[in-house]
Copies of this chain bind each other. A is one copy, B any other.
């Protein structure tokens, strides 16, 4: 059973099957190319982007509730499965996505269901990102606007539904989460009040997390909050056993903040990057109802046990919402230890963050990086800057096996495809 150890993969082999444009893991960190296009200044877009990124930065996500998807998630139905990334048809689903969808059908006791993206329900889910009616969902709310965003709960490492594993042990864990963990979390929040996720993000970034693939600090801080609210012993033990537990909270917080920027006419701010294992897609603030997509690339990274690059599925999951919010690959300078999980070294982790300042609109004052003398993380990807510089957003990510039912095989780095950014730019300029 492939298991990520407490400090990353126990046994590591660097992938041998190589992609055309990412010859080795370190190289994926250097993406400079000649400027693609010189864009004429456009003050109207600048004003729109300023408005949009200010709304993104102003969000104050708080964890307010946990409840069953059917009860708390807008538009949820018993005959609906949500999935990660842009819209997907059953017949286009990759191995791990199919494994997760089939597992969710069995969990719900159904033969079929409609498919819709999590993102169409203000939700996000890591990897396959499958959310079905009975699953417990966490609710994050912006104190100012009352806007809400949602995510499922993290199952832990190894063989889990989000990586496409769907055996009885996986379903049994999901039933326990629906019957015990979710209700316990809901009760603790009702009795103890909301949890400030801005404060947890802020402190975790000063404690070596980048909040996409390293959550040990944030999980510890969330554990403290929940223990003080009287969460039960069994739930606490489950959380203690999984230092990725905070991932889904970080994602929902990021989704909420990004969605606050949606709908600002003319803005070229990216408010979603997401992958369904088949396609990679983005949404932008000036056209939030459209997806701009391209085939998903395959991440390059470090592999568990005897797995190699050849086992890797194309990129999958809504978790790139963390990069969209200036975390994850954009915040690697805060988390040099992440290199043991995704590859690279302390220097390349610093370089990754510094490069992302070239394509972003702001530095988030709530997300300061001590190693950069408390500079805020590069936040708010501007489609125009990506097009001008040719620098593609850097995403760090878990890697699923290509086949259904196997699970996680590694973790690594991937560059967003350029095509959706070019398409979004053409659309906004037309």
A residues neighboring B (CB under 8 Å): 6-7, 203, 206-209, 216-217, 220-221, 223-224, 227-228, 230, 233, 236-237, 240, 335-337, 339-340, 345-346, 370-374
Using A206-B208, A370-B208 as known contacts, say yes or no to A227 and B236 having CB atoms under 8 A apart: yes
Pick 15 A–B contacts, CB within 8 A, sort by A: A6-B203, A7-B206, A207-B207, A207-B208, A207-B209, A208-B370, A217-B217, A220-B221, A224-B224, A228-B236, A228-B237, A336-B370, A336-B373, A339-B370, A340-B370
Say yes or no: B233 contacts A223, CB within 8 Å.
no
Bound state CA distance, A340 and B202, in angstroms? 15
Determine the main DSSP class of A at the interface with B: helix
Bound state CA distance, A339 and B373, in angstroms? 9
Contacts of A370 in B (CB 8 A): 208, 335-337, 339-340, 346
Return A187 CB to nearest CB of chain B, in Å: 15
Say yes or no: A227 contacts B217, CB within 8 Å.
no
Contacts of A373 in B (CB 8 A): 336, 339, 345-346
Say yes or no: A336 contacts B371, CB within 8 Å.
yes
Contacts of A6 in B (CB 8 A): 203
Contacts of A335 in B (CB 8 A): 370
Bound state CA distance, A227 and B337, in angstroms? 26
Return A156 CB to nearest CB of chain B, in Å: 16
Contacts of A340 in B (CB 8 A): 370, 374
Bound state CA distance, A237 and B206, in angstroms? 22
Bound state CA distance, A374 and B206, in angstroms? 18
Contacts of A7 in B (CB 8 A): 206
Contacts of A208 in B (CB 8 A): 206-208, 217, 370
Bound state CA distance, A395 and B307, in angstroms? 46
Choose one: B203, B224, B337, B371; the contact of A346 (CB below 8 Å): B371
Contacts of A221 in B (CB 8 A): 220
Among A7, A206, A216, A236, residue most surrounded by chain B Cβ atoms (within 10 Å): A206
* Residue of chain B at shortest CB distance from A347: B373
* Residue of chain B at shortest CB distance from A203: B216
Bound state CA distance, A223 and B225, in angstroms? 11
Bound state CA distance, A216 and B337, in angstroms? 17
Choose one: B217, B230, B372; the contact of A220 (CB below 8 Å): B217
Say yes or no: A230 contacts B228, CB within 8 Å.
no
Contacts of A216 in B (CB 8 A): 203, 207
Using A207-B207, A346-B372, A371-B336 as known contacts, say yes or no to A223 and B217 having CB atoms under 8 A apart: no
Contacts of A236 in B (CB 8 A): 227-228
Bound state CA distance, A230 and B234, in angstroms? 11
Given A7-B206, A207-B217, A230-B233: 16 more A-B contacts, CB < 8 Å: A207-B209, A207-B216, A220-B221, A223-B223, A223-B227, A224-B224, A224-B240, A228-B233, A335-B370, A336-B370, A339-B370, A339-B373, A340-B370, A346-B372, A346-B373, A371-B371
Return A239 CB to nearest CB of chain B, in Å: 9
